[in-house]
Amino acid sequence: MKILICCALMKCPQMQDVSKNIPAYGLGLVKIQVCFIVKHIYFKNDLLKILFLRAIPCMLPDEPVRRVSKQESAGLMFDEFRELAKLFSFQGAYKNIITEMITHMQENSGTPYSSPLLDKALKEQILNDRSEQSSLLKIKRVLKAAINYEYGFIPLDEKDDLFDEKGNLKEVNGAVLPKFDSLLDRTNGLVITVHDTWSTHITLESLEVEGEGFRAKVH
């Protein structure tokens, strides 16, 4: 606020000689000089001048402004980033993931962020998703319908019906990728940590057919 006042005063030609002497600290002198300058500014009425003069002590800090380095300034901003993130991450086993990710960002190592807890949270989301758009349930439905249980494999003549030109399961293309969007996730840090999923590579590593059932390994 002090800087804004000084900038505004500097636009007045008759005030430049006085305002340019206002230091970046020594705020007792700043208050006196600002008050002196304001008295020479034209106000539409005296009430505005009185209100402005009374606001000056509130707009200026009580202690001199301390200059900090770029590194210290960045550190202060990341500290504030972590504190603000806690407003959306204050309960559960995953509440510290967001602050750990912010710290990783601050270290600027250039390496991807990873966390065993985040892996665990994603696994739980995939296994517990019972919605119609669940990618795992869609894979199960597609395999169940495509398998020839008499011979224990998926017939080649169904390949075009199951897969697109890139080799992806057509049914899964319409699925919603795993993401955290529950009400609980809004306060345990998962929503603010992972906003959404851009893409997911799902691989069917193995398929074993036994009688009228099957066992598949999906990565």
pLDDT at 171: 77
On whether both 37 and 76 belong to a single domain, the answer is: no
Per-residue pLDDT tens, the chain, 219 aa: give them: 333 333 343 344 444 443 444 443 334 434 434 444 444 444 455 655 555 555 555 555 566 777 889 999 999 999 999 999 999 999 999 999 999 999 999 999 999 999 999 999 999 999 998 888 888 888 888 888 888 888 888 888 777 778 888 777 777 777 778 888 888 999 999 999 998 888 888 888 888 998 888 999 988
pLDDT at 38: 46
What sections of 86-174 are H helices per DSSP? 97-107, 116-128, 135-146, 159-162, 170-173
Question: Do residue 77 and residue 10 come from a single domain?
Answer: no
User: What is the residue range of 25's domain?
Assistant: 2-59
Is residue 65 assigned to a domain? no
Query: Sign of torsion, CA 130 131 132 134?
Result: negative
Same domain, 7 and 98: no
Tokens of 121: 């949270």
What is the residue type of 84? Answer: L
Shared domain check, 157 and 187:
yes
Q: Are residues 29 and 81 in the same domain?
A: no
Listed in sequence order, the residues at least 6 apart from 96 whose beta carbon sits closer than 8 Å to its beta carbon are 89, 189
Q: How much is the pLDDT for 14? A: 40
Q: Is residue 64 part of a domain?
A: no
For residues 148 and 214, membership in a common domain is answered with yes
Give the pLDDT of residue 54. Answer: 56
Residue pair 26/65 in contact by the 8 Å Cβ criterion: no
- Asked if residue 148 is part of any domain, the answer here is yes
Q: Which two tokens stand for residue 151?
A: 């011979």
Contacting residues for 138 by C-beta, under 8 A, at least 6 apart? 169, 171, 172, 174, 175
Integer Cα distance of 55 and 43 in angstroms: 15
Overall number of domains in the chain? 3
Measured distance CA(135)–CA(165) in Å, rounded = 20
- Verify that 48 and 88 share a domain, yes or no: no
SS3 139: helix
Do 11 and 45 lie in a common domain?
yes
Encoded tokens for 213? 């059932």
Contact between 104 and 149 (Cβ < 8 Å): no
Last residue of a domain, one of 107, 136, 170: 107
**Dihedral of alpha carbons 184, 115, 134, 150, sign:** negative
Residues 152 and 88 in one domain: no
Is 81 within 8 Å of 98 (Cβ atoms)?
no
Same domain, 102 and 130: no
Whether 33 and 101 map to the same domain: the answer is: no
**DSSP conformation class of 95:** T
> Residue 206 belongs to what H/E stretch?
strand 204-210
Return the H-helix or E-strand segment holding 218. strand 213-218
**Whether the predicted model's global pTM rises above the 0.75 cut:** no
Residues 95 and 125 in one domain: no
Yes or no: say if 209 and 147 are a contact pair by the CB < 8 Å rule.
yes
